[in-house]
């Protein structure tokens, strides 16, 4: 076999292997390709109790209820169409509050309560750390003073 044919055969085998790896990865992801389920999606998905998922949405207004033990928090995640009750035991992130975005990682228990073991608070694109916001405010004040 000529060297030219060997290189062509090798290139074709590499291409087939690459396509095969891509198909295997796509089939392994299936339903897990979604970063999180919204409360409205959960009804259609019929997630089995105990299966680990991510639940995302907004923390419903006036739904955050701290428990007496100081580390358990009950709240409701909503997407405007449906609501899902959530229980989290631990210290929530600083950005976690009512009417803000949240992604909770965990599983449903037998009673339909989502038990989260990790909470990721989301912020909008206008978020600025407090240190930078103060700096920006001081800079604006200096600019306004100079313009006068």
- pLDDT (tens digit per residue) in 13-71: 999 999 999 998 888 776 565 578 889 888 788 888 898 999 999 999 999 999 888 89
Residue 63, φ and ψ in degrees, nearest 5: -110, -10
Give the residue from 40, 53, 33, 44 showing the smallest Cα distance to 114: 53
Average pLDDT, the chain: 83
Q: Is 148 helix (H, G, I), strand (E, B) or coil?
A: coil
What distances in angstroms separate CA 101 from CA 37, 76, 98, 132, one per listed residue?
13, 12, 8, 22
pTM over 0.75: no
Q: How far apart are alpha carbons 116 and 105 in whole angstroms?
A: 5
């Amino acid at each position: 076999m000529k060297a030219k044919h060997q290189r062509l055969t090798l290139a074709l085998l590499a291409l087939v292997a690459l396509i095969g790896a891509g198909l295997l990865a796509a089939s392994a992801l299936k339903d897990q390709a979604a970063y999180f389920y919204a409360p409205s999606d959960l009804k259609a998905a019929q997630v089995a109790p105990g299966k680990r998922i991510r639940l995302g949405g907004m923390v419903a207004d006036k739904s955050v209820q701290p428990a007496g033990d100081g580390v358990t928090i009950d709240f409701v995640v909503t997407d405007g169409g449906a609501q899902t009750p959530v229980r989290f035991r631990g210290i929530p992130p600083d950005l976690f509050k009512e009417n803000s975005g949240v992604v909770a990682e965990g599983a449903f228990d037998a009673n339909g309560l989502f038990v989260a073991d990790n909470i990721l608070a989301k912020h909008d694109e206008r978020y600025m750390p407090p240190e930078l916001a103060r700096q920006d405010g001081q800079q604006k004040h200096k600019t306004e003073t100079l313009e006068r």
